[in-house]
Every structure is written in structure tokens, then in C-alpha cells.
Amino acid sequence: MAKERPRVMRIQRIPERSTEPGGSPGRPRGTGAGTASGTPRATGATPTKGTASGTPRAAGVTPTKGTASGTPRATGATPTKGTASGTPRAAGATPTKGTASGTPRAAGATPTKGTASGTPRDTGATPTKGAASGTPRAGGATPTKGAASGTPRATGATPTKGAASGVSPRKGPTTGPPKASGVTPTKGTTRGPPKGSGVTPTKGTTRGPPKGSGVTPTKGTTRGPPKGSGVTPTKGTARGPPKGSETPPWPGTTAGPPKASGAPPPKGTTAAPSRSSTTTGPPKGSATPASPGEPAGTAPAPSVSKVAVRRRKVVRKKVVKKKVLRKKPEAPAAPQEPPCPPLGLESLRVLDEQLRASSHKRPGLGAHRGRLNIQSGLYDGDFFDGGWCAGHEDTRQWLEVDARRLTRFTGVITQGLNSIWTYDWVTSYKVQVSNDSHAWLPSRNGTEEAVFPANTDPETPVLNALPSPLVGRFLRINPQSWFRNGTVCLRAEVLGCPLPDPGDAHAWHPPAPPEPQLDFRHHNYKEMRKLMKRVSEECPDITRVYSIGQSSRGLRLYVMEISDNPGQHEVGEPEFRYVAGMHGNEVLGRELLLTLMQFLCREFRRGDARVVQLVTGTRIHLLPSMNPDGYETAYSLGSELAGWAVGRWTYEGIDLNHNFADLNTALWDAEDNDLVPHEFPNHYIPIPEYYTFANATVAPETRAVIAWMQRYPFVLSANLHGGELVVTYPFDMSRTYWKAQELTPTPDDGVFRWLATVYATANPAMASAERRPCHHDDFTRYGSIINGAHWHTVAGSMNDFSYLHTNCFEITVELSCDKFPHASELPAEWENNRESLLLFMEQVHRGIKGVVRDSDTELGIPNAIISVDGINHDVRTASDGDYWRLLNPGEYEVTARAEGYEAATQPCRVYFENVPTPCSFRLARARGRHRPGRPRPGPDPALRLQRLRLRRLRAHGRGQ
């Protein structure tokens, strides 16, 4: 039998004002927002927002919000919000929200909320909410909520919730009689009404209008209009108009073929759609009368479906709309008061007489030793030990701090005893305050006296904030428990803000900070970069920022150069460097160099004569952080909680002050065999071969600094550390290898002692004869300077390497007892060290300087050797032939020699003024060995060996 071509009749539509939800005035009925169509709908059908149709619907059908229709519905059925239909339903059936129908239902059947039907139901059956039907039910049967029907029910039977088939249904039945016509499904159905029924689906349906209906799907639809429908999809549809459509597509739409019915039922339904639910059109025998006012001759739903099958397949494009999350404006946070700083037990601002205790085990463990991070001596029973220890083991012991003024106490930090012989710490304690040291007020946590948890090991600092600040002059720490195998021992720091003294008018108006334009705070890596960049932008004519390498974790080692011609070496101008942060937790040097940058820039712009002379006559290099990885580790814990060693080492666990090549041993072995200086040099000693191996433990930071030393002819340097108040000078390694302490001077011991004294005497904290020792060594008896090896031996130090491998004289400055001082202490530390920093830089001009030239060409001779009579340490000229030799005042015989030239000697006198004495040389070529016009002779063997080893070291560094 030949196929019958479907008739297409012109239908004149009369627009009406929509009264449905989702409609808008002036828009014809059936153009509600949000419909999504993948299959055609009959003329006049008006799906509202959210409807999505996979099969055609009859004319006049208006699905409500939330219905999902996959098959036509009978005229007059009005499913409510949330219905989803996979098969047609009989005319007049109005399933409500939540019903799920997989097969057609008889006309008038109204399943209640939650019913799930897999087979048709007879007219009149009204299942209640939750009923699940797999077989037809008899007319009139109305199962209640939760009934599950697998068999027909008798006409008119109204089973209760859960009743079985054929009887009054109770809760939980599995069968039910067929439903009769006239049943009205209640809310909760998940199948929509049949199409062509005149039903008006409500907002939220998920199927679009049928083809040829003239319906305009609105915003939010996910199916495009069918071919030739004349439908205009609105904004947001995910399917564009098909080929041949007269409607221009909206932006962002893509075309696709209609989908067959069979949309999955909503979550919670119990009956799956049957095979019949995927067929298009009403079931056999079902009547689909046209809605009132519908023109006769409207194309039936099955014909429209056949037209849809012949559509071409179009590639679908997925349009992803990016969600723009708008942050809600946050209310401005209330200004918070800065936390109270430490009183200064660790930094010695709190004097010994301000500390008292209930008892002590011995004088070396008295109250004056109960300071945070204090270190013990090497010997058991030392007079200066590592903490306070009570003489009795009971809960009546206490350590008292006198703030000497009213103070708002906010917290306590504790540690255990520092000792290599015993393990002692407090595990809990109480806190009391007083104004007269007689009546004591305990810290309370509500109504009970607070007991604070303390330490679990001797070294890790533990901070306990008081539940509420306490105001008083005296504070006591009262231990309650301690390490069971130890005794009552602790080290402490107290946090508190001093309050104005009513009797002191000046205390209410403290003086302004001494340097208001300087940035006194701790700077992490990013903040340090910003500060260096800002200083360079403020003084671009005298500053330059450059990098010498990277740390283990990739952080750059930045250097600030300050000179009148940055980036250029000037003949006769000495080069100076400051290095800080070799140990990442010793942070004061880092902040001092950052402050020094700002100070030199500002004072140069102001025209300060001293600074201008220093900048124009010296090329200054400032490396504020040699170990940035270690600093970031310590910075993350804070000034009081970093402890004594956290952040000291690099990320790879290397102590940079022990990581340079040991050149001392090779020198001393050669001296013992009388090989110096004829066969073994006393300067520019080559790096040992083992140090250049690929498996040698050399940190990338160390390699970077060694390469930095080779690029610039540094004359003088200082390495800034923390944890003590002393200046040390080479040698740092004792000559007798098995001795921990031994005086080991250099040939330039007099110069080094002078340089160390210059810094120490200009520093008020170091120069004070009344100050107490930081830990267990009293350096005031040495003038706050000491030979490094005489203090403690250090093999592979940067001081010794710099002296023996280059021309540079370098000392170590221990800046403060506190390795990581609080930010509030930085202004005072700057005042202590500002003059010392400037005066030490000026010492680079002490001694003699000159240029060694070729007498024929007047060109400078590089690598010429400068020897001073009586000093077994030489220096070499730079690439331009200029040199600087630090010497104390006096008269000296100076000799200059170079390979292929005759040596020249002349007297040079050094005066007490801090002005270098010019002492230049003109060398003639050696007779009989090299004639004029011939190339210059090559470097001596020691220099060649040094360069070879350096190349190997750099090559292995690049390979890592």
C-alpha cells in the first residue's frame, strides 16, 4: 500500500493574550518562555517555560511548567507542574505533578501524585500519590499513595494506600484494578498528557512544541523548532531552525533532528516506560478530538512524525555559556589592633634584675637564664646554662618577669631546657599577674583558672594566648606538670603592650620614629623584590638590580648595585659587597640591607655629602638574601616561633657557611712542606678537584656566589649573621684539625682586627661594657671581636674561601642576640647598626691602590701579582690592571710582577686618613724571552689550574 502524502493545510491563527504562567501580554497563546522542542507540536499548542517535547502534541495543548512529554496527549488533559509523559493519555486525563506514565491511559484517568504507570489504565481509575501501575486498572479504581499495581483493579474500587489488587487496597500492594474513565490524576505524576488533547502543560516542561504548530519556543529551550514550522526559537535554545525554515535562527542556536519520545522518568518513579511509549501518536482506539476553536483538517500527529523522520542529520554544536560569579560585596572589616610585641627576654631588653624565680637548681640555671632561645655551654654544669630550672619539683615553683610599668599581657611563649646532656621541659602551666608582686590575679578561662598546654620537646617554641588580656606590672609562669623523667625547666618570652604611665606626661606622647620614610618590617621574597624595584625606580641613576643565580626552589638571588655608574667597573674604583641571609632564620641582616638601600637612595637625592662621596667613589653590591628558601620557611612561622634552627639550612638541608671549598688544608700542608709561595700559591688557591665532581655536595646558592666572586673584583666584604653580638674574622677553621677552638690568624691579622674593631666600636650594643652575654660567651672582654677559629672552628666558611681564593677580605658580623627580632625592634636595630654599616664600607679605601701597566703599550696588565714585603699573602690586578691592597698605616715595600715582565718594587706609605695611597707600576717586558710585538705570555700554571676547576664547577652546576 502506497504511503499517503500528508496533507498540509493553511491554518489562520488568531493571536490571544496569554493568561497562562510564562505568557506575556501581547504574545499569542502558546509562546511562553522556556519551552524546548525536539519534535513538532500541533497548531495552537503553547508550551510554557521549561517544556521539552520529543513527540508532537495536538492542537490547543498548552503544557504547564515542568511537564515532560514524549508522546501526544489527549484533548483536555491538563497535567500540572512536574508531569512527564512518555506515552499518550486519553482525552480529559489530567495527570498532576510527579506521575510517570510509560503507556497510554484511558480518557479521564487522573493518577495522583507519585503514580508510575507502565500500562494503560481504564477510564475512571484514579490512583493516588505514589501508586505504581504496571497493568491496566479497572474503571473507577482509585489507589491511594504508594500503591503498586501489577494487575487490574475493579471498577469503582478505591484501594487505600498500599492495598493489593481486588480488595480494599492497603499500604504496599503490588497490583491494582484497571482505572475507569473520568479519573483525575493528582499532583506528582511524571508523565505528561497526550498531545492533541487540549491540555495546557504548565511551566517547567522539558519538551518543545510540535512541528507545524506555529508555536514560538521561548528562552531556555533545549530543542529547536522543526522544519517548515515557521517557529522562531528564542534566545538560549540549543537547537537551531532546520534547513528550509523561514525563521532566522537566534544567536547561539544550533539545528538538530527531533528526538523520539521516551524521555526518562523523573527521579523516584518506579515504572520504566514501555516500548509502546516510544511510538508517535495516540494509541489504537484512542480518540483525540480537536480542541474547541481548532480548525478542522489539522494534520494528525502521526503524519507529522513521518515528516520529521525525513529530516537531514545536522552536526550538533555544544554551546557552553560561562557563568559569571559575582562576589557579594563584603562589609569592611573592623580595624584590628596589632598584636603586642615581646617584652624582650630574648633580645636582652629585659635585664637580669627584672627576672626572679621561686628557686633554682644552681646559679647557672637561675632566673636570668630563662630566656627564649638561650643556648647552653658545651660542658655539663656550666655557669651559663640553657634555661631556668627550679630547685624543687612541685607546683609551687614560678618564674617572674617585672615589666617595670603597667603592661597589657596577651601571651606567653615557652621552650624546654637547652642542653646536650639532659631532657627537661614543662608540659603545662598557669599564669598570674600582679601590680605589687603580693596579690596575684590568675588568668581564667571562664570561671576556672586556665591551665595552658606547654612543650613536648625542648626546642620547639609554643605560644599560648591568654583567654583575655591581663593588665599588671608583674607576670608569673607557674608550672603544673613537666616531663616525667626530667625536672621543672623552661625558657620563656612574654608578649605585652606597655600602657601609658599616668605619672609620666611624655609617655602619652611618644616621639616619632627616627626614620619615618624607611620601611621597617619583615619582607618576604615577593615584598623584597617589590622594595628593591621601588628603590631602583626612585634612584635609577645610581642603582641597578641584577640576579646572580637561583636557589634550590628556583627563587632568584637578587643583588642591588649602588654606584654613580651602575653596571660598569671604573678603573681605580674599589668594589664592596654586603651579604646577608646565609642562614635563612637570621633575618636582621636582610632587613638592615633593605633599609640601607632606601637610606642611600634617599640621602643621595638629598645631597648628603658623606653618602654622595661613598656612592661616587665606591661600587657597592648588596645581596640581602643568600638563602631565600630558608628565610621563607622561618618567615612562615614568625619571629618568635621559628626557634633557633628552623630555616637555617637550605631547602636541600645544606648549611651554606660550611659549603664552600676547604682551601685551608691545602695551604697549610704546603706551608708545612715549605712549598709556599714558590711551588704553591699563597693566594688565588685553586678549588680542589673533589669539589668539582658531579656528585659533590655543593648547593646552587654556593655555586652562584662563587661565580659572583669571579665576575667582580671585590676588595672588602661583610657577611651578616645573627644570634650573637660579636664580629669574627678569619681564619674560621682551626689549623689543628682535632681542636674545636684554636687561635688561627691570617697573614693579614692586623688588618682584619682593625676592620672588626671598626664595626664593633661603632655599634652601641656591642660597645656597651654593661651588657650581659647573649648566651654563654662573654665577648666584651675581647672588645666584641674574636678570631673565628678561636670561637669555634668552621670548615668551608665563606670568609676563608673569599680570602684564599680571591682578593676580597671578608669578616662575619653577628648582629643581635635574637636571630629573628620582632618587627617593632627593627628601628632600634637600624640605629644600632647604621653608623657601623657606613663606616665599614668606607674602609675599602684604606691602604694602597694603583694600576700596573705595560711600559710599552700603557695598557693595564691583568692578573699581575702584588706582594707586600713581610706579608705572606698576595693579591692580583683586575682585568684593567688596577688593584687595591688593604693595609694598616705604615711604610711598606710593594712589588709588582707579571708573567713575561720584569718585576718592579717601590715603597708605599699608608697614612691614618681613610684615603688610599696611590702606588702604580710600569712593567717592562723581560729581555731575551719576549720581544716587542709578540703576543703576551699566558697565565701562570696556578692561574690556569684555577680557571680549569672553576669551569668544571660551573659545568656541573648547570647540569643539576
Give the span between the Cα atoms of 949 and 956, in whole angstroms.
11
Give the C-alpha distances (Å, rounded to integers) separating 883 from 567, 855, 886: 19, 17, 10
E strand or H helix at 580: strand 575-580
575 catalytic, yes or no? no
Give the span between the Cα atoms of 320 and 316, in whole angstroms.
13
Is the CB of residue 54 less than 8 Å from the CB of residue 259?
Answer: yes
Radius of gyration of the chain (CA): 46
Nearest to 432 by CA among 390, 395, 386: 395
What is the grid cell recorded at 453?
Answer: 598546654
Q: Angle at the Cα of 769 (from 767 to 771), degrees rounded to 5?
A: 95
What is the grid cell recorded at 234?
Answer: 528564542
Report CA 871 to chain centroid distance, whole Å. Answer: 53
Is the CB of residue 361 less than 8 Å from the CB of residue 371?
Answer: no
Give the span between the Cα atoms of 746 and 730, in whole angstroms.
6
What is the grid cell recorded at 762?
Answer: 661603632
Is the CB of residue 243 less than 8 Å from the CB of residue 312?
Answer: yes
Give the span between the Cα atoms of 368 and 345, in whole angstroms.
9
Is the CB of residue 784 less than 8 Å from the CB of residue 649?
Answer: no
231: Cβ contacts below 8 Å, ≥ 6 apart: 37, 209, 213, 214, 215, 216, 217, 225, 241, 245, 247
E strand or H helix at 749: helix 749-762
Q: Which of 575, 632, 814, 899 is catalytic?
A: 814
Give the C-alpha distances (Å, rounded to integers) separating 890 from 572, 748, 887, 893: 21, 14, 8, 10
379: Cβ contacts below 8 Å, ≥ 6 apart: none
Give the span between the Cα atoms of 428 and 414, in whole angstroms.
10
Nearest to 801 by CA among 647, 945, 656: 656
Strand locations in 279-398 (E): 355-357, 388-389
Catalytic residue numbers read: 814
